Amino acid sequence: MTAGRSFGVELTAQLAENGFEKFGSKWVLTEELALKRDLDALEDIVKRIIPLRRQIDLAVADNTLRWQKQQATSKLIDQIAIIMRRSAVGTDEEKKIQKQVDQLKEASRELKDGVDPKRFGGQPHMRAMLESLTLMHQQASVLAVRVENDSTEINQAYQKLSNTTQTWLKEHPELSIGPLFRVEQIDQAVRKARASINFEDIPMYLQGDQKRVGVVLSDQFPTVLTVCPKDNRLILTSNMAYTIGLRDLSGADKVTLPCGTETKGRTGKIPQVRMGSATLVDVSVIVLEPSDEHLGGFVGLKLLQAWNPTFAKSGISLSLDASNQASTASR
C-alpha cells in the first residue's frame, strides 16, 4: 500500500516538473487552465451581448417609428398652415395662425417623443446601453485574439515535449494527458463568437457632438476614441501611450487637432490597432502632452478606408467591409 502511494506521488511530481496540472481526470499544461477561463469568458460575453443588442435594436425601431410619425405630423401641419395663410395674407389673422401652427408642432413633438436618429445615440438610456456594448466588443476582441494565440503556443508546447518526457508518458498509459482542447474546437469557438458578436458592426455613441467608438491597442489595451470622418490620423493621450508602453517618441511639435484646437504632440508608432474587424499594423500615432489629457484621443476614419466605413442610418454604429482582415495604416 505504501509503495503504491509512493509511486503515485512520484508520478505526480514528474508531471508537475513538466508543467502539467491535474484537471478532472486529465493532466494538462498549466496554460490550458488559463485558456479555458478565457474561452468561458468569451462564451459568457456572447450570452450577454445577444439580449443587449436585441434591446438596443428594439429601442432603435421604436424611436424610428416615433420619429417618422412626428415628421409626418409636422409635414401635415405645414400643409394645413399653407392653406390657412392663403386666406390670411396681409391681415391680423396671419400672425395668429403662425402662432397656432407653432403650438401644434410643439404639441406634436411632446406627444410622439421621437428623437432624430442622428442624436439618438446621445440619449442617456441609449448611451448607457451602447457604452456597455462597446466594452463587451472590446473584451471579446482581446479574448478572441488571446485564445487563438495561446492555443497555438500550447499545441507547440506539446509538440516540443522532450523525447524523455514523451517516452515516460508512453510507459504510463494509465495517465490521461491533454491537450484539453483540439485545434478545431478552438477555431470553431472563436468563429462562433465572432459571428454572434458581429465585429463588422462597431457600436457608436454620442458624447456631446462627438461620435465615440471602442478600439483595442496592441491587442491588449481597450480604449475609446472620437471618430473624425475627414481625418487620417490616430491621436492618443499621453496616458493611453504610457499604458501600451509607447516610449520611443519624437520631440514635441505643433499639431492641429480635428476639433480645431492647436497644441503640441509627439510622434511614434504602435504595432497594432484593432477596430471591429479591421486590423491596422505599424500605425503612426500622435501623442498629446499630459496637459491635454482632457481632450481625449481621436481616430481618423480615413485610416479605415480599405474597409469602406459607413455610418449606419440608426446613428448608433459604424459598419465595415469584412472582406479585408489586415492592412497597414498607409493603405
Contact assessment for residue 318 and residue 311, using Cβ atoms and an 8 Å cutoff: yes
Distance of alpha carbon 318 from alpha carbon 213, whole angstroms: 8
Q: List domains and CATH numbers for the chain.
A: 1-198 (no CATH), 200-331 (2.40.70.10)
Cell of 60: 432603435
Residue 181 DSSP label:
S
Virtual CA dihedral for 83, 88, 94, 97, nearest 10 degrees? -40
> What is the predicted pLDDT for the residue at 331?
42
Residues 183-213: pLDDT tens digits? 999 999 999 999 999 999 999 999 988 999 9
- More confident position, 14 or 117: 117
What percent of the chain clears pLDDT 70, i.e. is strictly above it? 84
Mean pLDDT score across all residues of the chain: 85
Q: In this structure, which long-range contacts are made by residues 172-179, counting pairs with CB atoms below 8 Å and at least 24 apart in sequence?
A: 172/11, 175/11, 175/15, 175/27, 176/25, 176/26, 176/27, 177/20, 177/26, 177/27, 177/28, 178/20, 178/23, 178/26, 178/27, 178/28, 178/29, 178/32, 179/28, 179/29, 179/32, 179/154, 179/155
> What is the predicted pLDDT for the residue at 97?
65
Q: Is residue 330 very low, low, confident or very high in pLDDT (cuts 50, 70, 90)?
A: very low
Residues 150-183: pLDDT tens digits? 999 999 988 888 887 788 778 877 778 888 999 9
Cβ partners under 8 Å of residue 15, min gap 6: 22, 27, 175
> What is the predicted pLDDT for the residue at 133?
96
SS3 sequence of 23-39: ECCEEEEHHHHHHHHHH
- Choice among 96-105, 113-122, 213-222, 293-302 with the minimum mean pLDDT: 96-105
Beta bridge partners of 242: none
Residues 8-25: pLDDT tens digits? 566 677 777 778 888 888
Residue 271 DSSP label:
E
What percent of the chain clears pLDDT 90, i.e. is strictly above it? 55
Q: Is residue 4 very low, low, confident or very high in pLDDT (cuts 50, 70, 90)?
A: very low
Residues 56-106: pLDDT tens digits? 999 999 998 888 887 777 777 677 767 666 665 556 666 666 776 676 666
Query: What's the pTM value of the predicted model, to 2 decimals?
Result: 0.81
